[in-house]
Amino acid sequence: MQSKSRPLDELSNLLTNAVGAVKGVGDEAKAVARSQAEKIIADLDLVGRDEFEVLKARLEVLADENATLRAELNGMKPKAAPKPKKPRTKAKPKT
């Protein structure tokens, strides 16, 4: 004896197939969105993490070298004497 009637069995199969189709459409939409996002990111020409870390380390070394050279340059400069102030002359009255 059958526990389900044929129409309910067919309805159950139809719903199962519909859920599978919706899941497939959702997966396809995710794949398209991911592909578009990757294309946009590639077009932006972003720097990679490895390259960023290398440049960051290089920048730190150059900043230290710059500070050292600046200190050395400041040590080489002679101390400038203050400039003497010029005496003020009175403005001629307008006639």
Number of domains in the chain: 1
Please report whether residue 56 resides in a domain. Answer: yes
Burial class (CB in 10 A: 0-12, 13-18, 19+), 5: exposed
The pLDDT value recorded for residue 5 is 85
Residue 71 domain boundaries: 16-75
- Calculate the dihedral angle through the C-alpha atoms of 27, 30, 34, 37, rounding to the nearest 10 degrees: 160
10-residue averages of pLDDT along the chain (95 residues): 75 92 95 94 88 97 96 81 71 67
Q: Is residue 92 part of a domain?
A: no
**Four-point Cα dihedral 29, 33, 38, 44, nearest 10:** 160
**pTM of this structure:** 0.43
d(CA 6, CA 86): 113
Please report whether residue 82 resides in a domain: no
- In angstroms, rounded to a whole number, what is the distance separating the alpha carbons of residues 37 and 93? 76
75: number of CA atoms within 13 Å, CB side?
Answer: 6
